Amino acid sequence: MSIELTLLIWSAALAFAYLLVQSTAYRLDYGLMHAGSQRDNERKPNKWAARGNRALRNFLETYGVFIALAVATEVSGRSDWLTQWGTQIWFWSRWVYLPAYFIDIPFLRSAVWSVSLVGLFLLFVGVAF
């Protein structure tokens, strides 16, 4: 199995981690009763729940692109060093991004996000050209 397909499969665990962090932060902020309700008239989330929401949303913004490029690489048989490095850079930087979103170090989150974007770019170039 290619590294692209392997990390595409493992990206489901990555997505689950983002969902788990977001839902846990939400439940800790609002409580189980509210989480189980229709959530009408919801107040503004606390800092941690808001960060969990934004981290998940940010992950989902690039996840579809990663899936498309990883599948295109696999289907086209165009796996090479660019696609392999791009896949690994995106995957591992997205793991680092999740805790980075919760740490108050200026520019850390943005730097990690930029690294993940480089991974997507390498993956795109490798499969498209």
Please report the pLDDT score of residue 35 as a whole number. Answer: 74
The whole-number pLDDT of residue 38 equals 87
3-state SS of the chain is CCHHHHHHHHHHHHHHHHHHHHHHHHHHHHCHHHHCCCCCCCCCCCHHHHHHHHHHHHHHHHHHHHHHHHHHHHHHCCCCHHHHHHHHHHHHHHHHHHHHHHCCCCCHHHHHHHHHHHHHHHHHHHHHC
What pLDDT is recorded for position 27?
94
Q: Which domains are present in the chain?
A: 3-128 (1.20.120)
Q: Are 26 and 52 in contact (CB under 8 A)?
A: yes
Average pLDDT over every residue of 5-20: 98
pLDDT in tens, 74-87: 999 999 999 999 99
> What whole-number distance in Å separates Cα of residue 93 and Cα of residue 49?
22
Q: What is the pLDDT of residue 40?
A: 81
CA distance 39 to 120: 36
In this predicted model, what pLDDT tens digit does every residue of 26-75 receive, in sequence order?
999 998 887 778 878 888 999 999 999 999 999 999 999 999 999 999 99
Q: How does pLDDT run across 101-119, given as a tens digit for each residue?
A: 999 898 999 999 999 999 9
